[in-house]
């Protein structure tokens, strides 16, 4: 994956979600730090509300170096969908 650290990667992922009109929420120490409680760790949790039709839009919007996630995401979504 490209340089720029975890925040650059997070920005790319959130940009793809925004362009795909997919709802998401951010948690983890990154969110806590923005809320005013600085943390020594740099982890981020991104909860995404996504369905099968949304996933292809998101994968198309992701940077090319993240496209390898597609198979895993399709499989996880299929297992989670009743």
Residues 62-74 pLDDT 10s: 877 776 777 888 8
What torsion, rounded to 10 degrees, do the Cα atoms 43, 80, 15, 30 define? -20
pTM of the predicted structure, to 2 decimals:
0.69
Residues 9-46: tens digit of each pLDDT: 888 889 989 998 999 998 877 777 777 777 677 677 88
H or E, element range at 73: helix 70-80
Output Rg (C-alpha) for the chain, integer angstroms: 14
Number of domains present in the structure of the chain: 1
pLDDT at 5: 67
Label residue 1 by pLDDT band (50, 70, 90). very low
Q: What is the largest CA-CA distance in the chain?
A: 39
Which residue range forms the structural domain that includes residue 44?
5-80
Do residues 48 and 22 touch, judged by C-beta distance below 8 A?
yes
Residue 3: its pLDDT value, please?
57
Nearest to 73 by CA among 6, 57, 82, 7: 57
Q: Give the model's pLDDT for residue 45.
A: 82
The conformation of residue 63, written as its DSSP 8-state character, comes to: -
């Amino acid at each position: 994956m490209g340089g720029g650290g975890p925040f650059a990667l997070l920005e790319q992922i959130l940009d793809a979600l925004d362009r795909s009109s997919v709802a998401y929420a951010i948690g983890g120490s990154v969110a806590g730090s923005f809320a005013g409680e600085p943390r020594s760790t740099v982890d981020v949790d991104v909860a995404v509300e996504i369905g099968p039709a949304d996933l292809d839009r998101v994968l198309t919007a992701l940077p090319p170096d993240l496209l390898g996630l597609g198979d895993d995401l399709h499989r996880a979504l299929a297992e989670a969908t009743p």
